[in-house]
Amino acid sequence: MLILTLALVQGAFAFPWVANVQGVDSSILKRSALLERDTPDCPFNPNHQPAAPVTSKYPYNNAKDGKPGNGKGGYLVPAPGDTAHEFRKPNSKTDIRGPCPGLNAAANHGFLARDGITTYNELVDAQQNLYNVGYDLANLLAIAGVGLDGDLVGTGKLSIGCDATSRTASTGNLLADELGLNGHNHFEADASLTRNDYFLADGDNYRWNATLFTQMLEYCQGNCNLEALSKYREARYYQSVADNGNFFFGPGSLLLYGAASFLYELMPTAGGTADEATMMSFFGADKVNGEYVWNGGERIPPNWRARVEPYDNNKVGTQIIEMYLMNPVLFGGNVGRNNFNGLNFSTYIQDGKLNTDLGDNALCLIYQALTGGFPSQLGQVINLPVALVNAMAAEIAPMAENLGCPLNHNSGSSVSGG
Per DSSP, the residues of 251-286 read: GGGHHHHHHHHHHHHTSSPTT----HHHHHHHHTEE
| Surface-to-core class of residue 261, CB atoms within 10 Å of its CB (0-12 exposed, 13-18 middle, 19+ buried) | buried
Rounded-to-integer distance, Cα 263 and Cα 261, Å: 5
CB-hemisphere CA count at 13 Å for 297? 18
pTM of the predicted structure, to 2 decimals: 0.87
Q: What is the DSSP letter of 35?
A: S
Domains and CATH numbers, the chain: 48-188 (1.10.489.10), 205-356 (1.10.489.10)
pLDDT tens, per residue, the chain with 418 residues = 333 333 333 333 333 333 344 444 444 333 333 334 688 999 999 999 999 999 999 999 999 999 999 999 999 999 999 999 999 999 999 999 999 999 999 999 999 999 999 999 999 999 999 999 999 999 999 999 999 899 998 899 999 999 999 999 987 664 456 899 999 877 788 999 999 999 999 999 999 999 999 999 999 999 999 999 999 999 999 999 999 999 999 888 999 999 999 999 999 999 999 999 999 999 999 999 999 999 999 999 999 999 999 999 999 999 999 999 999 999 999 999 999 999 988 888 999 999 887 766 788 888 888 876 555 445 555 567 778 888 888 898 888 888 888 776 554 433 333 3
Reported as type and span, the H/E element at residue 119 is strand 117-119
Contact 100, 149 (CB under 8 A): no
Q: Kindly report, residue by residue over 183-213, the tens digit of the pLDDT.
A: 987 778 899 999 999 999 999 999 999 999 9
**Partners of 134 in the β-ladder:** none
Rounded-to-integer distance, Cα 299 and Cα 319, Å: 25
Angle at 17 between CA 16 and CA 21, to 5 degrees: 135
The CA radius of gyration of the chain, in Å to the nearest whole number, is 21
Query: Three-state SS for 85?
Result: helix
